[in-house]
Amino acid sequence: MKRNILITGGAGFIGSHVVRLFVNKYPDYNIVNLDKLTYAGNLANLKDVEDRPNYKFVKADIADLDDMRRIIVEYKIDGIIHLAAESHVDRSIKDPFTFARTNVMGTLALLQAAKEYWESLPERYDGKLFYHISTDEVYGALELTHPEGVPAPFTTKASSEDDMAYGTEFFVETTKYNPHSPYSASKASSDHFVRAYHDTYGMPTLVTNCSNNYGPYQFPEKLIPLFINNIRHGKPLPVYGKGENVRDWLFVEDHARAIDLIFHKGKEAETYNIGGFNEWKNIDLIKVIIKTVDRLLGNPEGSSEKLITYVTDRLGHDMRYAIDSRKLQSELGWEPSLQFEEGIEKTVRWYLDHQDWMDNITSGDYEKYYNNMYKI
């Protein structure tokens, strides 16, 4: 079936995986990638699909309501997968206003533009969907009731036999929102607006809340790519606080697969949690990364542990996130496909094999040359 799908934030980390998956898997869909190309947007992430006939890039700011109206009408958009956002917690602590502008006002502008267009059509909302990608951080922080870890209560492909959970509670779809950082507060607000457009105007919407993603093309301000690159260059590894915070890691292509499934088969107005059932204390994860990079570079395994540098903790640092994604498993049959050991090996190899991609970012060349050369 022909469809015109708008994917926002497609030049970023997760968005580029979603665009690639849709462009390759659905030749009958027209995929419009709308992105402002902030520091986090990099069109080099999509080199392999940029010439496809079913792909179009549009540079625009989601907070510009007139532009959103124009673009949605021009491309006759009948489905939206909304990933564009300011996404880095540390930046939100320094500059909360940019997060409110993009994540809250930008999402609202996109919702309003879609509502106006879809309501103007004879079939109105039939066959339409506004799918909003959100985060587990809106639920707040869980306690570390078992600092040494207890056997994880769920079994999935992402877990290995000795997987541990660091607390008894998990985020479920009905967990009360309790965001702590300006980033998570802005995402929580945008989630509420999306649900309000369903409840008030009857717009078909859907929200998913996902745990920490890792994999190729992640901007090297985030823990995993930053540390891989620093190890390679023998630079310090800044561990916040004592490194005891816990995150639940999911390979980015598994997230993209979940988005595809939910976009096509998810129930309107529902919320689905997406997670890896794969909890790691930061310091343990960092040691796995160190070992993997050392081995692949031919250095004695663990020799880069000397680079670990404990630094002042992130303000308001959430202690533990852990997602229960059994609803998505039981209703739609999704589960993570990769064991963590396999995913991290694949990820480290990718960054080491794509040093040019990394160097273009750390030098700033990706903004000066690649993004600017692109015709828009």
Binding-site ranges for ligand DAU (CB under 6 A): 87-89, 135-137, 211-212, 222-223, 226, 238-240, 245, 247, 282, 314, 321
Would you say 114 or 231 has its CB closer to ligand DAU?
Answer: 231
Residue 230 sits at the vertex; the CA angle it makes with 228 and 231, to the nearest 5 degrees, is 65
Residue 177 known to be catalytic: no
Q: How far apart are the C-alpha atoms of 121 and 72, rounded to whole Å?
A: 12
Question: For the chain, how far is it from start to end, CA to CA, in angstroms?
Answer: 28
Shortest Cβ 233–ligand NAD spacing (Å) = 22
Would you say 127 or 236 has its CB closer to ligand DAU?
Answer: 236
Would you say 32 or 289 has its CB closer to ligand DAU?
Answer: 289
Which positions touch ligand NAD (CB under 6 A)? 8-9, 11-15, 35-38, 40-41, 61-63, 83-87, 102, 106, 133, 135, 187, 210, 212-213, 219
Would you say 107 or 304 has its CB closer to ligand NAD?
Answer: 107
Q: Which of ligand NAD, ligand DAU, none does residue 61 bind to, with CB < 5 to 8 Å depending on kind? A: ligand NAD
Active-site residue identified among 61, 136, 253, 279: 136
Residue 310 known to be catalytic: no
Residue 359 known to be catalytic: no
Would you say 23 or 223 has its CB closer to ligand DAU?
Answer: 223
Shortest Cβ contact with ligand DAU: which residue?
135
Q: How far apart are the C-alpha atoms of 317 and 303, rounded to whole Å?
A: 29
Strand positions, DSSP E, 253-362: 271-274, 279-281, 308-311
Q: Which of ligand DAU, ligand NAD, none does residue 282 bind to, with CB < 5 to 8 Å depending on kind? A: ligand DAU
Active-site residue identified among 86, 137, 254, 335: 137
Question: DSSP assignment of 197-249, as one string?
Answer: HHHHH---EEEEEE-EEESTT--TTSHHHHHHHHHHTT--EEEETTS--EEEE
Own/partner long-range contacts of 201-204 (Cβ < 8 Å, ≥24 apart): 201/115, 201/119, 202/125, 203/111, 203/114, 203/115, 203/118, 203/125, 203/128, 203/130, 204/125, 204/128, 204/129, 204/130, 204/268, 204/269
Q: Which of ligand NAD, ligand DAU, none does residue 240 bind to, with CB < 5 to 8 Å depending on kind? A: ligand DAU
Q: State the catalytic residues.
A: 136-137, 183
